[in-house]
Amino acid sequence: MKPSADHCEALWLNVNLATLSAQSGYGEILDGALAITDGKISWLGPRVDLPKNLNAKITHDGQGHWLTPGLIDCHTHIVYAGNRSNEFEARLGGASYEDIAHAGGGIAATVAATRACSEDELFEQSTIRVKRLLSEGVTTLEIKSGYGLDIESEAKILRVARRIGVQFPLDIQTTFLGAHAVPTEYRGRADDYIAMVCDQMLPALHAQGLIDAVDAFCENIGFTLTQTERVFSATKALGLPVKLHAEQLSDSSGAALVARYNGLSADHLEYLSPAGIAAMAKHGTAAVLLPGAFYFLRETKVPPVEALRAAKIPMAVATDCNPGTSPMTSILLAMNMACTLFRLTPCEALQGTTIHAARALGIADTHGSLTPGKSADLALWAIDRPSDLSYAIGANPCMAVVKAGEISNPYFDRKFAG
Ligand code: DI6
Ligand code: FE
């Protein structure tokens, strides 16, 4: 796409670009320029190569900062009510995550709080967290249901997720996670619950346009491989993509299953086996690494990053924002932890929250890198080099966020005046 002289909304100058568009590396362009037409990137390159006829309506002075693709948090459970700091305290006193789940706490506690909450109240509580991600340059967010576990409560969560996409400058990808836990009213009847998920919830929520993809928690404290496969085959019948919480606490062979269903991603993966890696590589299933949950659960087994790298499986990095195992609303901290805990390079961490996260959501054709034709979703950073984004702990050098070409400043303490 070429920007024409009379039709270029905005031009960014005096910026360094990290395009993330190459197979490897940051794709750095020092002293670059980027043009936006109809909300999409229409040209980018070194400023000296800027087409001479370009006549932009607005020119932004990037003040020598770095422009990257807007960040993508591709795995969150950010819509929920209440919190579980009481369980955090209990775990520090010696109880395990599994102990708490078996005692009726854990996911069930958040389900009770979320069911009891009005839709407006759920929106209010959730957007406090969403704004923190926005302030760190996030322009696309995946949101899972899974704290409702009945049709009306799951619909409420997914409607709140859609509303977040309307009221904030964010693209929202919704994921139906009905198979997150067995609700108390189905205790001891997991197969009956899965039948209800497949035969009633899934078709009803899909008919309401609330589902972009379907996930499940395949784990010894979650659902079996057979139950997960039932969900996947019902999903496939509706033509929707699948993904999976796989190999988080044990090797349940979930990664191989989701790969066999041509899944978008297998997520967590601490206990991923060589067979799982081979299946993911064969079917093009991305890995989503969630160091916040690893850290918060004080896990010691790290995902097999070296083997994933060798198999050329795209590795995304996400917050897993949820009240039980990753109460984390910093995508930059997730990147830092991916480096320190999982040994990703800072470049892989940034790929993990841009182009590889887009891959994990099935939107890499339109999002995730600075490439002509893709949505002009950008983040501007006051940093010396791209590795600064993974390096600092607790810093937020984001100066501006651009969504589909439009600057959205309201979520910043500092106003970008360029
Ligand atoms: N894996 C997780 O880490 C979260 N869900 C899941 O399937 C935990 C959710 C919670 O404890 O509330
Ligand atoms: Fe999760």
**Predicted confidence (pLDDT) per residue in 400-417, tens digit:** 999 999 998 767 766 676
> 311 pLDDT exceeds 50?
yes
Query: What pLDDT shows up at residue 23?
Result: 82
User: How far does the centroid of ligand 1 lie from the alpha carbon of residue 107, in Å?
Assistant: 7
Q: Is residue 325 lining ligand 1, measured as CB closer than 6 Å?
A: yes
Residue 367 CB: number of other CB atoms within 10 A? 24
Distance 210 CA to ligand 2 centre (A): 19
Q: Which atom of ligand 1 approaches the CA of 290 most closely?
A: 3
Residues 12, 139, 327, 383, Cα dihedral to 10° = -10
Please work out whether the CB of residue 127 comes within 6 Å of at least one atom of ligand 1: no
The residue whose two tokens read 């995550």 is 97
Tens digits of residue pLDDT in 244-273: 999 999 999 999 999 999 999 999 999 999
Q: Is residue 106 lining ligand 1, measured as CB closer than 6 Å? A: yes
Assign domain 71-361 one CATH number from 3.40.50.300, 3.10.20.740, 3.20.20.140, 3.90.950.10. Answer: 3.20.20.140
Residue 37: which region, alpha, beta or left (left: phi > 0; alpha: psi -120 to 50)? beta
Please identify, by atom number, the ligand 1 atom nearest to the C-alpha of residue 101.
11
- State which of 85, 325, 326, 328 you would mutate to test the pocket of ligand 1, scoring each by most atoms of that ligand within 8 A of its C-beta: 325
The response to whether residue 322 sits with its C-beta less than 6 Å from ligand 1 reads yes
Does the C-beta of 371 come closer than 6 Å to ligand 1? no
Task: Pick from 157, 217, 271 the residue to mutate for probing ligand 1's pocket: most ligand atoms within 8 Å of its CB.
Answer: 217
Q: How far away, in angstroms, is 290 Cα from ligand 2 center?
A: 8
Three-state SS annotation for 313-369: CCEEECCCCECCCECCCCHHHHHHHHHHCCCCCHHHHHHHCCHHHHHHHCCCCCCCC
Where in the chain do CATH 3.20.20.140 domains reside? 71-361
The residues near 91 (Cβ < 8 Å, ≥ 6 apart) are 97, 100
| pLDDT the model gives residue 5 | 47
Where exactly does CATH 2.30.40.10 map onto the chain?
7-69+369-411
Ligand 1 site, residue 158, Cβ cutoff 6 A? no
Asked if the model's pLDDT at residue 385 lies above 80, the reply is yes
pLDDT over threshold 80, residue 207: yes
Kindly report the CATH number that applies to the domain delimited by 7-69+369-411. Answer: 2.30.40.10
145-167: pLDDT as tens digits: 999 999 999 999 999 999 999 99
Average pLDDT of the chain to the nearest whole number: 95
CA 397 – ligand 1 centroid, Å: 30
Residue 3, pLDDT score: 52
CA-proximal residue: ligand 1, atom 10 (nearest)? 324
Residue 332 has pLDDT above 90, yes or no: yes
Amino acid at 239: G
Assign 54 a pLDDT band (cuts: 50, 70, 90).
confident
- pLDDT at residue 418 in the model: 65
